[in-house]
Amino acid sequence: MTGEVLFRMTGEVLFRMTGEVLFRMTGEVLFRMARNGSGCDDRKGA
C-alpha cells in the first residue's frame, strides 16, 4: 500500500509539473503566432 501511495503521489506531482510546463510552452508559442500572424517574426517582438 505504501508503495502504491508513493507512486500515485509522485506520479501526480510529475504529471502536474510536466503538464504545466508543456501548457505554458504551447500557450506561449500559440500566443506569439496569433499575435505575429507567423512564427518567423518572434525576434521582432522580443
- Alpha-carbon span 1 to 39, nearest angstrom: 49
Residue among 1, 23, 22, 20 nearest 12 (CA):
20
Burial class (CB in 10 A: 0-12, 13-18, 19+), 39: exposed
Give the model's pLDDT for residue 23.
Answer: 93
pLDDT digits (tens, 9 = 90+) for 1-46: 788 999 999 999 999 999 999 999 999 999 998 988 765 655 665 5
